[in-house]
Amino acid sequence: MIVANPVRAVLSDIYHGLVNLVYPAVCQGCDQPLPLVNELQLCADCEARMLPTGWGNWVDRLTHSEGLDGAYSGWFFSGPIQHFIHSLKYNDRAKLGAVLGRYLGRMLTSDLTDAFDILTAIPLFGARQRERGFNQSQWIVRGLAQALRKPADFGLLTRIRETRSQTELTSEERVVNVGDAFLASDKVRGLKIGIVDDVLTTGATASASAQALKKCGAEQVVIITCATPRIRK
């Protein structure tokens, strides 16, 4: 059993207080000064404006779902969550992805519990990851795995060729862009895999990843994201 150390707690409070004096905290949703720092580093207004999807498995609503057995998204991609996710691309804020992952794990529906055995992240191409220095989706995985008490392995899936950004592509162009871009490890055979990304739109990247995992014998594959811009009809 772990017993809290009161002296360490006081020293921690003093340390964080001094850090906040030198480097004042700002809200990750609106960049305004944040007088009281919480775990998510959002002001009360921004946290209240995060819009949960309230969905369970919505794989049947994806434009591209081949290879996927489930799709789960926490919030709609607007306002504070959009700003927060964009901020994760900066190295000094990347670790906040783990905080976001923990929040995501607490709010997702209970039918996710048995949907996967192990988590992994949508990988970046090697040169792109070396250039950026990190993959924000891996940080989200770390927090999500902690919240759901599930293992994680970033060696299950590899991006074997460079792809264009999906942002400006049509739905059909997205499928072509990521086709055969991923290679899975033989370690996935017989496993249920949860692949994690920051945002889910048409499902093209998630579907390509899932198909690679299924080719190597994965029993089931679901995609889990923090957000989606999609409006359920």
Residue closest to 198 by CA, chosen among 220, 167, 172, 171 = 167
Pick the range with the lowest mean pLDDT from 8-17, 43-52, 157-166: 8-17
Mean pLDDT of the chain: 81
3-state secondary structure at position 182: strand
CA 146 to the chain's CA centroid:
13
**Alpha-helical runs (H) found in 135-182:** 136-148, 171-178
What does the alpha-carbon distance between residue 47 and residue 41 come to, in Å, rounded to a whole number? Answer: 9
Q: Which helix (H) or strand (E) holds 102?
A: helix 96-107
Q: Is the pLDDT of residue 60 over 90?
A: yes
Q: Are 166 and 177 in contact (CB under 8 A)?
A: yes
Sequence ranges of the domains in the chain: 1-49, 51-228
Question: Is the pLDDT at 154 greater than 90, yes or no?
Answer: yes
| pTM score of the predicted model | 0.82
Q: 108-146 pLDDT, tens per residue? A: 866 777 899 999 999 987 666 667 777 889 999 999 999
Q: Supply the pLDDT for residue 2.
A: 32
CB atoms within 10 A of CB 25: 15
Q: Report the 10 Å Cβ neighbour count for 35.
A: 9
**CATH fold for the domain made of 51-228:** Rossmann fold (3.40.50)
Burial grade of 133 (CB within 10 A; 0-12, 13-18, 19 or more): exposed
- At 31 the three-state DSSP class reads coil
